[in-house]
Amino acid sequence: MKPITEVTLPKGAILYRESDANDYAYIIKSGEVVLFQGHARRRIEVERRGAGSVVGDLSVLTGQARAVTVQAKSDCVLYRIAAGQITDKFNRLDPILRACVDTAITFSRTHAQRAAKGGRVRAAPILAPSVLHNSEDLMSRFQIETELSRALRTDQFSMKYQPVVEIPSGRIIGVEALMRWDNPTLGVVRPDVFIKVAESAGAMQDLTEFAITEACDAIARLHASGTVSNTFFASVNISAQDIARAEFVDHLAQTLDRCDLDPACIKLELTETALIQDVDVADSNLRRVRALGCGVSIDDFGTGYSNLAYLKSLPLTAIKIDRCFSGDAYGNSVSRGIVRLLVNLGRDLGVDIIAEGLETEGDVDTLTALGCIMAQGYHFHHPLGEADLAHLIAHGDTVSQIA
Ligand code: C2E
Ligand code: CA
Ligand code: CA
């Protein structure tokens, strides 16, 4: 997991020289660089570039050697992107967009060849303040991506567990495992933010393996301590990339084995979007997961593609109703209708229905009247650390402040 690396370039240092190989492109995070041709007294400054600009991209795309030397005008921090990663992305471009970029590359190559014949390219030095669209969003994404690669090695992740409650008895029957990231530079980063970045960087594997390992260890400890019954479960969120990898199922099987845990105590949660991406691969891996004995739930049900066909074919054991319906059913008759429909659907399909995001007594009463048995939400409990969870189950309260 290292598609993007942060590098520092002190004032005066050379990033690369004219005629060097085109191995990386760079995005300037801070500082300023100067692009020049020639050497010493015959040096011709071509351009200056500052934060938000890209350097080295053109030679990566044209496959030609560096046309300029790049030197730091001030202390710089840059994101370094391997040429292979750029060409990979380029090859996956929409065909029309690719044709446009091809035209631009050919144009630039011809221009460079003409310039080489007729002498150096002369241009007035200009500071390009930003040549990237949405440069702020991209910078924050890159920052999260570079911090992510360090984070796992330095213990910055932890898991919280939100109780799942059996409404009629009020009993906590299991938990949903939710990841937390506290980074020294960025502070607490929300999981929906960093998971998206990790997914687009192709870096989910380490995070998911961490979640599975932590959740299995926690459930095994709770079982061993006698705090919970041996049917007490943890649901772990996984992404489309996880379920597309056969090694994911291998890791799950090894972890269950190492913890000597009943596989029925681990359920995987996948969104509709994740399921739909490559239904055939997801289907075969999910069947292996089911064959192990683990549960499989559809998360945030009703917010994705809502293609009901896969409900028939995929090996599901539970449907989680998104809180935009379950948390809204009390005051909204359309949401109430949808919840009623889903509860009946669950009954007909023989799968559990879990209502998410119940925040008030009114939500709980409404969902109970609609026949919903299992639920989670702030009305019952916020996500808790393992020690607080154990204390809550054993003594009915927690030992520390809820996070
Ligand atoms: P999710 O899977 O739908 O998880 C439920 C989210 O709703 C959690 O947010 C939880 O803290 C929050 N929540 C629970 N009860 C209530 C409530 O009554 N009201 C409201 N407003 N919110 C409630 P969280 O922990 O911030 O996680 C956000 C999302 O990030 C998750 O949504 C899930 O998609 C993703 N995520 C979290 N942990 C992991 C993980 O370990 N792996 C993966 N792949 N995704 C994760
Ligand atoms: Ca979930
Ligand atoms: Ca959810």
User: What digits encode the pLDDT tens for the residues 160-202?
Assistant: 999 999 999 999 999 999 999 999 999 999 999 999 999 988 8
User: What percent of the chain clears pLDDT 70, i.e. is strictly above it?
Assistant: 92
With CA atoms as reference, report the closest residue to 180 among 210, 205, 201. Answer: 210
Q: What is the pLDDT of residues 249-261, one digit of tens each?
A: 999 999 999 999 9
Other Cβ atoms less than 10 A from the Cβ of 68: the count is: 24
Q: Which residue has the higher pLDDT, 95 or 55?
A: 55
Instruction: Provide the pLDDT for residue 169.
Output: 92
Token output for 65? 């050697």
Length of the chain: 403
The half-sphere exposure of 295 on its side-chain side, counting CA atoms within 13 A, is 26
> What separation in Å is there between the alpha carbon of 152 and the centre of ligand 3?
24
Q: Give 275-330 pLDDT, tens digit per residue.
A: 777 777 888 899 999 999 999 999 998 887 666 777 778 889 999 999 999 999 99
214 lines ligand 1 (CB under 6 A): no
Segment 68-83 mean pLDDT: 94
pLDDT digits (tens, 9 = 90+) for 32-43: 999 998 877 788
Please report, as a single letter, which amino acid is at residue 264.
A
Does any ligand 1 atom lie closer than 6 A to the CB of residue 359? yes
DSSP label at residue 155:
T
Q: How many CA atoms lie within 13 A of 58 on its CB side?
A: 15
| Cα 320 to Cα 330: distance, rounded to the nearest angstrom | 17
Distance CA 140, CA 200 (A): 14
- 340 vs 67, which has greater pLDDT? 340
Look at residue 331 in the predicted model and tell me its pLDDT. Answer: 92
**Pairing of the two strands 69-72 and 127-128:** unpaired
Give the mutation target among 152, 178, 190 for probing the ligand 1 site: most ligand atoms within 8 A of CB. Answer: 178
Please write the tens of the pLDDT for every residue from 100-134: 887 877 777 777 677 667 655 444 444 444 456 66
Identify which has the larger pLDDT, 81 or 62: 81
pLDDT digits (tens, 9 = 90+) for 329-349: 999 999 999 999 999 999 999
Mean pLDDT of the chain: 88
The ligand minimizing its distance to the Cα of 376 is: 1
> For the residues 73-77, what does the mean pLDDT come to?
97
SS (HEC) of 28-95? EEECCEEEEECCHHHCEEEEEECCCCEECHHHHHHCCCCCCEEEECCCEEEEEEEHHHHHHHHHCCCH
User: Which pLDDT score, from 0 to 100, does residue 163 have?
Assistant: 98
pTM: 0.82
Residue 83, pLDDT above cutoff 60: yes
Handedness of CA 290, 292, 293, 295 (dihedral sign): negative
pLDDT at 183: 95
Q: How far is the CA of 179 from the centre of ligand 2 (A)?
A: 11
- Give one DSSP letter per residue of 190-218, joined into a string: -HHHHHHHHHHTT-HHHHHHHHHHHHHHH
